Structure 1
Amino acid sequence: MTDVSAAIAAMKAKFNPAAASGLDLIFGFRIDEEKHFNLIVKNGTCELQEGENPDANVTLVTDSDTLKGIVSGETDGMQAFMGGKLRTEGDMMLAMKLSELFPV
Structure 2
Amino acid sequence: MSEVVNGAVKALNDKMDGQGFDGTAKFHITGEGSLMIDGDGARAGDEEADVTLTADAETFEAILNGDQDPTSAFMSGKLAVDGDMGKAMQLAQVLS
Same fold (TM over 0.5): yes
Give the structure 1 partner of residue 12 of structure 2: 11
Structure-2 separation of matches of 1:61 and 1:33: 11
Structure-2 separation of matches of 1:2 and 1:100: 25
Output one character per residue of 1:13-69: Cα deviation in whole Å (capped at 9) or x when no partner.
11163x85xx3x11111111550110112xxxx332322112x11010111000000
- The runs of 5 or more residues in structure 1 that have no matched partner are none
Structure-2 separation of matches of 1:101 and 1:13: 12
Structure-1 separation of matches of 2:65 and 2:4: 12
Partner of 2:16: helix, strand, or coil? coil
> Which letter does structure 2 place at the counterpart of 1:95?
A
Structure-2 separation of matches of 1:6 and 1:34: 11
Partner of 1:53: helix, strand, or coil? coil
1:60 to 46, 50, 53: 53
Give the structure 2 partner of residue 80 of structure 1: 73
Q: What TM-score, normalized by structure 1, do the two folds share? A: 0.77
Give the structure 2 partner of residue 2 of structure 1: 3
CA shift in 2, pair 1:48/1:11, >3 Å: closer
Which of the two has greater strand per residue?
1
Which of the two has greater helix per residue?
2
- The percent identity for this pair of structures is 31
Asked if structure 2 preserves the Cα contact closer than 8 Å seen for 1:33 and 1:61, the reply is no
- The runs of 5 or more residues in structure 2 that have no matched partner are none
> Which letter does structure 2 place at the counterpart of 1:15?
M
